[in-house]
Amino acid sequence: MTSPEAPAGQHTVRRHNLRLVLLELRRSPGSRAELAQRTGLTKATVSSLVDSLVAQRILHEGDPENSGPGRPSRSLRFNPAGPVAVGVEINVDYTAVCAVDLNGTVRSHRHVVTDNRRLPADQVVARAADLVPQVQAELGQPVLGVGLAVPGAVGPEGVLLRAPNLPRLTGEQPGRALAAALGLPDVLVENEANLGALARLWSAPAGGQDFVYVSGEVGVGAGLVVGGELFRGVNGFAGELGHVVVERDGPRCSCGGRGCVEQYAGQEVVLRNARQPDLDSLQVALESGDRAAVAATDQAGSALGVGLSSLLNVFDVPVVVLGGMYARLFDAITPALTGELERRVLSSRLSGGQIRRSSLGIDAAVHGAAGLVIDRALKHPNRLTADLTASVENSDSSSPLRTRRIG
């Protein structure tokens, strides 16, 4: 009889080493020799793992390059034709789906304008589920899994605890419903502002800087990255920037309070104040110096600055990244926003804060939703390389890549 712990050694170590190599490759591409140096593994170990990953089409090894003395090296990166992760975003006024390869490159994308407030939860989920096979069919590559971004606080079991702008989804489990519609074992679910923050963190993992990501949609949210980790709060409610009070007796808000940031800086309020039907026309109006448009974005920047200054004074985070609508309106809102932060944030007198525009714009959350799936696969490589680990655990069987095609 063998002890239950006896066989753990070899495949556990191999899986651990595999995880090291995969996470290191997410930080940046590199040759076998560079990966050995960066992970502290032997060149032989790295080569054995890389051989398996290349054979499974998970990694792609480039042509030899002469980079100084010694043998030419070949750079390794994730295979763009290999497995992809699918991100889905259900927001107040649109539904988006994208497929992202393991390098983090968006390979296929759908963005459908739709008023999800009017629909019951099952129809909202059904619309999202219809888009997934379209994106998948365009690529024909194996899918690792699906992640979902939602505009509200997400609790245990993926329950949408609170979504003031999508009240018909509150209390529902949209991830579970989407998984059922797609025939998948699970769908990972997270708040859209948190995913915008994670998308930025994963796109520059070597940066390691703490920042707050601000998502401007119909609702306003913030994702806080402290010490290189997302701060979710005890119940997943951290970063509800849209409901920080700017004026105690201000206009009523969907959350039941008054004078929240969202009532000055949310997309619908800004468009109404600017007397513009959509963001495209608002941008045109701003370019021509339209007074209502300028006043509306000034007011949004100012309210956002007052709300953010409270958050920055509590958490002492040096960088603010503006995403969603605020990335598009960056030049229009930053003067008023910067003014408020300089006046109110105590640390700005020491170091000067930095305000940056998210390069992912309105796609940050859906990109982050796909990133959730990639993160899980790289940290638990048995999901990525079922046959690799299986071949170590049971040397006489080799099962196919445990990924699934949808649709």
* Residues at the contact surface with Zn ion, assessed by CB under 5 A: 243, 253, 255, 257, 260
Q: Residue 236 CB, nearest distance to Zn ion (Å)?
A: 17
Q: Which residues face 361 on adjacent strands?
A: none
How far apart (Å, rounded) are the C-alpha atoms in residues 167 and 330?
29
Nearer to Zn ion, 60 or 243 (CB): 243
Q: Positive or negative, the Cα torsion across 102, 113, 175, 323?
A: positive
Nearer to Zn ion, 273 or 347 (CB): 273
The single-letter code of the amino acid at 258 is R
Nearer to Zn ion, 88 or 153 (CB): 153
Q: Positive or negative, the Cα torsion across 354, 360, 362, 368?
A: negative
Nearer to Zn ion, 247 or 342 (CB): 247
Nearer to Zn ion, 238 or 253 (CB): 253
DSSP state of 400: P
Nearer to Zn ion, 254 or 302 (CB): 254
125: nearest Cα among 160, 156, 85:
160
Alpha-helical runs (H) found in 244-385: 262-265, 267-274, 279-287, 291-315, 325-328, 330-344, 364-379
Q: Residue 300 CB, nearest distance to Zn ion (Å)?
A: 15
Q: Residue 100 CB, nearest distance to Zn ion (Å)?
A: 32
Nearer to Zn ion, 87 or 164 (CB): 164
Q: Residue 240 CB, nearest distance to Zn ion (Å)?
A: 8
Q: Residue 260 CB, nearest distance to Zn ion (Å)?
A: 3
**Phi then psi dihedrals of residue 267, to 5 deg:** -60, -45
| Residue matched to tokens 């505009």 | 151
Q: Residue 221 CB, nearest distance to Zn ion (Å)?
A: 12
- How many other C-beta atoms lie within 10 A of the C-beta of residue 44? 10
- DSSP secondary structure of 295-331: HHHHHHHHHHHHHHHHHHHHH---EEEEEEHHHHTHH
Q: Residue 262 CB, nearest distance to Zn ion (Å)?
A: 6
